[in-house]
């Protein structure tokens, strides 16, 4: 009985001690914060939104981002990575003392959204359309929320890149595969990746369903893609081209037989931010290569 009491009391004291550890940790983490040009502290909870905010010139004012905001790399040292919006909670967000929160309404945890809305911090929620026009609209909306009208040069860059896209004589059927560990998902209609494929001059090999579905050998063989597209991290994680050829059904497809397996950086391919033109151009060049 006595030992149980001691156990309970020490458990309580332990939580008190961990509180102190928290305070110590905070002192060590702060040196990277700089004084921003203005007093704005922005939190961007989406890869594309982050890129747009940086492209508009506000990189120094970004205090925190989500885990998908991988570009530009310099953000790693100035902004705090808050994790994935699906599992984020409100306290770490508010601990950064934000003046503005910019988020996309896709995927965000409803509890988090509710707490953000009731926290009183200025929040703008954006609906992201995965197309060139949609990206331009998003740039305009974000610029407006930042009180800035200087976004024409972003449009010019996008248009400039898109103009350079060469049509491909025989439209290749491209299949995007999301590979993460043992989980293999295939992109159907209306996903950012398949939209990008179409802009770059290809067509989606798996167009009879929407969103993402797990990869099945029968579906892959009947889709018979000419080219397989992966995220760079996904391709590496699957063991490169050799690993992909071992995946069920792949070796029966045109892509597998001709070893036409390409990859692009995940953020570049799917964030539909200011680099959307650059992404489409890169993909176009990769597809042209593959059709030789």
Partner 1 sequence: MKSKKLNFYIIIGIIILLISMFLALNIGVYDFGNSSAFQVLWKFISGDSALSLSEKYIIRDVRASRIVLSVLVGSMLAVSGTSLQGMFKNPLATGDLIGLTSGATLLAAIAIVLGHTFQEFLPEWIRISLVSISAFIGALLAMILVYRISTSGGQTNVVMMLLAGVAITAIGFAVTGLLIYISKDDQLRDLTFWNLGSLAGATWTKNGILFLVLLISYFILLPKGKALNAMMLGEKDAQHIGIDVEKLKKQIIILTALMVGSCVAFSGTIGFVGLIIPYILRQIFRSDYHFILPLSAISGSILLLIADTISRTIVAPSELPIGILTGLMGAPVFIAILLKFKNNLR
| Cβ-count burial 56-65 (b if 16+ within 10 Å, e if not) | bebbbbbbbb
Please identify which residue in 57, 72, 92, 240 interacts with partner 1, judged by CB under 8 A. 92
107 sits in which H/E element? none
Q: Between residue 116 and residue 155, which ones bind partner 1 under the rule CB under 8 A? A: 118-121
Please identify which residue in 4, 133, 169, 183 interacts with partner 1, judged by CB under 8 A. 4
Q: Which residue lies nearer to partner 1 by CB, 94 or 245?
A: 94
The torsion angles phi and psi of 42, rounded to 5 degrees, stand at -105, 140
CB count within 10 Å of CB 202 equals: 26
Q: Which residue lies nearer to partner 1 by CB, 114 or 208?
A: 114
Q: How many residues does the chain have?
A: 292
Task: Give strand pairing partners of 65.
Answer: 44, 81
Task: Give strand pairing partners of 189.
Answer: 210
Q: Which residue lies nearer to partner 1 by CB, 56 or 112?
A: 112
Q: Which residue lies nearer to partner 1 by CB, 4 or 183?
A: 4
224 sits in which H/E element? none
Q: In this chain, which stretch among 75-83, 128-136, 215-223, 258-266 interacts with partner 1, using CB under 8 A?
A: 75-83
For residue 183, state whether it binds partner 1 (rule: CB under 8 A): no
For residue 39, state whether it binds partner 1 (rule: CB under 8 A): no
Q: Between residue 208 and residue 227, which ones bind partner 1 under the rule CB under 8 A? A: 211
For residue 86, state whether it binds partner 1 (rule: CB under 8 A): yes
Please identify which residue in 38, 97, 148, 166 interacts with partner 1, judged by CB under 8 A. 97
Instruction: Select from 268, 278, 281 the least CA-distant residue to 71.
Output: 268
Q: Which residue lies nearer to partner 1 by CB, 29 or 150?
A: 29
Is the peptide bond prior to 97 cis by the omega test (within 30 degrees of 0)?
no
């Amino acid at each position: 009985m006595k030992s149980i009491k001691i156990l309970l009391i020490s458990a309580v004291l332990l939580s008190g001690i961990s509180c102190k550890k928290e305070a110590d940790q905070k002192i060590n983490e702060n040196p990277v914060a700089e004084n921003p040009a203005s007093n704005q502290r922005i939190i961007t909870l989406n890869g594309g939104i982050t890129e747009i905010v940086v492209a508009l010139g506000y990189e120094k004012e970004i205090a925190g981002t989500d885990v998908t905001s991988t570009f530009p790399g310099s953000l790693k040292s100035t902004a705090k990575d808050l994790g994935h919006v699906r599992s984020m909670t409100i306290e770490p967000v508010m601990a950064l003392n934000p003046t503005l929160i910019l988020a996309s309404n896709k995927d965000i945890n409803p509890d988090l959204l509710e707490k953000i809305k009731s926290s009183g911090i200025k929040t703008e929620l954006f609906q992201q359309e995965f197309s060139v026009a949609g990206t331009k609209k998003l740039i305009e909306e974000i610029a407006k929320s930042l009180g800035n009208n200087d976004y024409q040069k972003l449009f010019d860059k996008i248009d400039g890149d898109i103009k350079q896209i060469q049509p491909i004589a025989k439209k290749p059927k491209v299949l995007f595969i999301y590979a993460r560990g043992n989980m293999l998902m295939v992109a159907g209609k209306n996903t950012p990746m398949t939209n990008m494929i179409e802009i770059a001059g290809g067509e989606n090999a798996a167009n009879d369903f929407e969103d993402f579905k797990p990869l099945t050998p029968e579906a892959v063989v009947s889709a018979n893609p000419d080219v397989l597209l992966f995220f760079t991290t996904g391709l590496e994680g699957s063991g490169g081209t050799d690993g992909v050829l071992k995946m069920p059904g792949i070796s029966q497809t045109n892509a597998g037989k001709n070893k036409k397996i390409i990859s692009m950086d995940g953020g570049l391919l799917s964030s539909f931010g200011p680099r959307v033109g650059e992404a489409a151009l890169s993909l176009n060049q990769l597809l042209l290569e593959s059709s030789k």
